[in-house]
Amino acid sequence: MYTVMGITGQVGGAIARALLKDGKKVRGIVRDKAKAAAWEKEGVELVVALGESEADLEAAFDGAEGVFAMVPPYFAPAAGYPEAQAVASALRQAIEATRPGRAVYLSSVGAHQQKGLGLITQCHILEQELARLSFPNAFIRAAWFMENFQWDVVSARDQGVIAAFLDPLDRPFPMVATDDIGRLAAKTLQQDWTGNRYLELEGPRRYSQLDAAETFSRLLNRPVTANRIPREKWAAIFEGLGTAPDRTAPRIEMLDAFNSGWIDFEGTGTEQVRGTRTLEEVFGELIGKAG
C-alpha cells in the first residue's frame, strides 16, 4: 500500500492513477473526503490529515510501503515561509516515527540553491529537512509545469494573446507535464535504494514563450502572440488576483530567478530524467477542458 499526499491535485492524482494502473493499493491524504469521493469509487482508501499535523501524518503513513509527500502550494506565504517549515517538520517527524519503506517528494528545479528562489524556497526547505533522515528519500526536482498555461487558454482562444512573465520570449525554459511527474514518482516508489536521490525531471525538450504561443496558434487555428508583461506591473497584477500587497515579493523573486538563469538544474550528483509528453499534447487537453 502506498500513501499519496495531495491526491486531489494534479501531481498527486497522476501518481495515484499510475499506481492503480500498476495494481497497487493506494491511500490518499485529503482535507475533505467529500471532494475526493471519485477516488473512493476507484478503490482508494481516503484519510483526512493536515500537512502540518505530525499525528495526522503518522496515521496516514502507518503500514505504508512507500509515501509520496509534498509541501502544499502556498503562493502567498508569510515572511520566512512558516507554512513550509511546519509541513516539512511534521513530515520528518512522522516518517521517523512510522518508517515506511521509502519516500518520494515533489521538489523543484533550482531547489538546490541556498537563496534567491522566491516561492521555490519552500522546496529547498523540504529538501533540507527531509534529507536529514537516514532513510531512502527521493526528491523529484520538477521543471516548470506545462499545466501553468491553463490560465492562458481563454485569452489565447478569445483574444489571441498569452501573458508572458518568463523572459526573454525566445529563451527555452525547462518544462514538464504533471503526468510525467506522476509516472516517475509511481515508478520510483516501487524501487529500492539507500540514502538520498535527486531526480531532475523535464520534458522531451525545452520551450519558450514563443513556442507556447505558436502551439496555441496551431491548436486553436488562429494567430496567438506572447505579450511580455513588464516587471513593474507584476505586483499590481498579483494583487489583482488576490495576493496581499506585502506577499507578492516571493512570486516576483521566483520569476526573476527563472529569467536570470539562476533557477536551473544542478546536474552534478543528480539523476537526469526526461518525460515524454509534449507541450502540444498538454495544451490540447487544456483547451478541451476549457470547452
pLDDT > 90 fraction of the chain, expressed in percent and rounded:
99
Q: Measure the CA–CA gap between 191 and 26, rounded to whole angstroms.
A: 16
Q: What is the dihedral of CA 55, 106, 103, 194, to 10 degrees?
A: -140
**Which residues form the domain of 112?**
2-290
Which residues neighbour 134 within 8 Å (Cβ) at sequence distance 6 or greater? none
Q: Which stretches within 194-233 are classed as H helix?
A: 209-220
Output the pTM of the full model: 0.96
The average pLDDT across 12-23 equals: 96
The pLDDT-based confidence of 291 (bands split at 50, 70, 90) is: confident
Q: What is the pLDDT of residues 201-237, one digit of tens each?
A: 999 999 999 999 999 999 999 999 999 999 999 999 9
Q: What is the pLDDT of residues 37-88, one digit of tens each?
A: 999 999 999 999 999 999 999 999 999 999 999 999 899 999 999 999 999 9
The average pLDDT across 14-40 equals: 95
Taking 90 as the threshold, does the pLDDT of residue 98 lie above it? yes
Question: Rounded mean pLDDT of the chain?
Answer: 97
Q: How far apart are the first and last CA of the chain?
A: 37
DSSP 229: P
Position 113 scores a pLDDT of: 98
φ/ψ (deg, to 5) at 55: -65, -45
Q: Which CATH number goes with the domain that contains 154?
A: 3.40.50.720
Number of domains in the chain: 1
φ/ψ (deg, to 5) at 24: -95, 155
